[in-house]
């Protein structure tokens, strides 16, 4: 079996998150410069979570069925390239909407598939997932800062060339990927159904969904909240960059020491930190406090995402890894994005950002409590099973 190249994995992760920053930071500005309304831009972004549900599941199942990631990744990046070139070449909103949906179909699943191969490589080599994922944070921050300065010195029209170049870089890295799952049998759908339908996984995903809705509220409405407080576009960009940079030391520490701690209590801690973070945003009327809350991205998302993936890797067999990651992505990104966008927008319009962020804080508390109760129940079950096993051994002695 060939060994996966660390440089290729880190380079691919770096390039993928560079594109994520471009989509989040510069696509809206580009579409605005082309004369699209705020409502139209909102529609373009709302299609992402809906498409991601089907796309993640379809490509994740395909990867597990083939027991390969490399050809899937190459296909995804070729698809991204075709659609992004077409997107920048149309002036029709209807056509752009359809092309954006196609772009998301090929772009969204790459994250969960990359997480799948990083976790598999980490388990095979004894290295940590965080030591690779940290390059995603660096790539996001680098892209937001460097391309932001470049566009400021030139014009927003450069977004098209930058996007194409970054996707091409990612495509080049895909050819260096190595499939390392050849030792496993082909995916059995009956076996996968048992894994996915297990109460342990379903309860975990429910708690992830609750916490993810809280997180996605901030993703969707932070910029609007900051603008309500009088923040400039540069301040909004700074808030995004602060959150990305703050992840880096936490990913490093989790990579080095994270295995010493149980996953579910760590997730509960992340939930409490989310609650404090969003309570600060809810109660504050100053941008400085909101920027401070963004630095808490380190002890909220930084802990939550890495720890959740680590726990998922324990309860999903390797041969179903891509499907498991896809279902996690659907929960974390797709469902949470749709729920937070739909109901968050209504709450924001009727009651304002203070109430919306207060609800986000409450959801985080509920998720934290759920993870603690879940941990206690699993410990109690394990203790009972151990006691029964010990009793049987004593009776046979």
Tell me, what's the pLDDT at 344?
84
Q: Same domain, yes or no, for 145 and 169?
A: yes
On the question of pLDDT at 185 being above 60, the answer is no
State what percent of residues in the chain have pLDDT above 90: 38
Range of the domain at 167: 1-186
Residue-level pLDDT at 192? 63
Sequence-separated (6 or more) residues with CB below 8 Å from residue 305: none
- Domain total of the chain: 2
What is the model's pLDDT at position 103? Answer: 96
Q: Do residues 187 and 64 make contact, with C-beta atoms less than 8 angstroms apart? A: yes
386 has pLDDT over 80: no
Domain with 12 in it: what CATH number?
1.20.1250.20
Same-domain pairing of 46 and 180:
yes
Q: Is the pLDDT of residue 152 over 80?
A: no
The residue out of 131, 163, 186 marking a domain boundary is: 186
Same domain, 290 and 390: yes
Q: How confident is the model at residue 394 (pLDDT cuts 50, 70, 90)?
A: low
pLDDT at 1: 46
Residue 173 in contact with residue 15, Cβ under 8 Å?
Answer: yes
Same domain, 286 and 316: yes
pLDDT at 4 over 80: no
Tokens of 32: 């605005």
Same-domain status, 69 and 127: yes
Least confident of 47-51, 296-300, 322-326: 322-326
**Mean pLDDT in residue range 219-234:** 79
pLDDT for res 190? 61
Please, where are the H alpha helices in the chain?
Answer: 6-25, 27-33, 38-66, 70-87, 93-107, 109-125, 130-142, 148-153, 159-174, 189-196, 199-228, 233-257, 263-283, 287-295, 301-315, 321-329, 336-351, 353-396
Kindly report the average pLDDT of the chain as a whole number: 86
pLDDT of residue 210: 96
Residue 55 has pLDDT above 80, yes or no: yes
Domain boundary among 154, 186, 218: 186
Q: Does 141 lie in the same domain as 210?
A: no
Same domain assignment for residues 173 and 228 = no
For range 222-238, the mean pLDDT:
78
pLDDT digits (tens, 9 = 90+) for 164-183: 999 999 999 999 998 776 55
304 plus 335 within the same structural domain: yes
Q: Report the pLDDT value the prediction gives residue 150, as an integer from 0 to 100.
A: 86
Specify whether 54 is located in the same domain as 111. Answer: yes
pTM greater than 0.75 (yes/no): yes
User: Given 143, 160, 186, which residue is the final one in a domain?
Assistant: 186
304 and 260 within one domain: yes
Q: What would the pLDDT profile of 100-143 be if each residue is shown by its tens digit?
A: 999 999 999 999 899 888 888 888 888 888 889 889 989 988 88
Residue 394 to residue 397: CA distance in whole angstroms: 5
Residue 361 has pLDDT above 80, yes or no: yes
What pLDDT sits at residue 160? 92
Q: Which of 43-47, 182-186, 268-272, 310-314 has the highest mean pLDDT?
A: 268-272
- Could you tell me if 173 and 203 lie in one domain? no
In this structure, the answer to whether residues 298 and 153 fall within a common structural domain is no
């Amino acid at each position: 079996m060939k060994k996966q190249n660390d440089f290729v994995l880190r380079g691919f992760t770096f390039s993928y998150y560079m594109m994520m920053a471009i989509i989040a930071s510069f696509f809206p500005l580009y579409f605005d410069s082309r004369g699209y309304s705020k409502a139209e831009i909102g529609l373009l972004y709302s299609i992402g979570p809906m498409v991601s549900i089907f796309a993640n599941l379809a490509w994740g199942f395909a990867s597990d069925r083939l027991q390969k990631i490399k050809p899937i990744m190459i296909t995804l990046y070729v698809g991204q390239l075709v659609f992004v070139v077409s997107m920048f070449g149309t002036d029709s909103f209807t056509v752009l909407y359809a092309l954006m949906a196609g772009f998301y179909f090929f772009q969204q699943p790459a994250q969960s598939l990359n997480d799948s191969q990083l976790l598999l490589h980490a388990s095979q080599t004894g290295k940590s997932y965080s030591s690779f994922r940290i390059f995603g944070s660096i790539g996001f921050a680098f892209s937001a800062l460097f391309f932001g300065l470049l566009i400021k010195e030139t014009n927003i029209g450069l977004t098209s060339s930058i996007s194409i170049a970054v996707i091409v870089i990612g495509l080049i890295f895909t050819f260096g990927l190595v499939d390392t799952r050849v030792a496993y049998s082909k995916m059995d759908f009956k076996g996968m159904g048992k894994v996915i339908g297990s109460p342990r996984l379903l309860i975990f995903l429910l708690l992830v969904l609750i916490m993810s809705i809280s997180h996605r509220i901030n993703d969707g409405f932070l910029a609007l909240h900051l603008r309500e407080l009088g923040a400039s576009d540069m301040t909004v960009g700074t808030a995004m960059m602060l959150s990305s940079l703050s992840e880096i030391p936490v990913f490093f520490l989790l990579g080095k020491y994270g295995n010493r701690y149980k996953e579910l209590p760590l997730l509960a801690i992340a939930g409490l930190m989310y609650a404090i973070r969003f309570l600060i945003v809810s109660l504050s009327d100053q941008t400085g406090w909101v920027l401070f809350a963004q630095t808490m991205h380190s002890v909220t998302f930084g802990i939550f995402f890495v720890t959740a993936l680590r726990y998922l890797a324990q309860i999903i067999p390797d041969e179903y890894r891509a499907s498991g990651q896809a279902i996690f992505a659907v929960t974390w990104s797709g469902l949470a994005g749709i729920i937070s966008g739909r109901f968050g927008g209504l709450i924001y319009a009727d009651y304002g950002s203070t109430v919306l962020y207060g609800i986000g804080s409450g959801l985080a508390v509920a998720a934290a409590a759920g993870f603690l109760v879940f941990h206690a129940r699993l410990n109690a079950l394990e203790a009972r099973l151990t006691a029964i096993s010990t009793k049987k051994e004593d009776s046979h002695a």
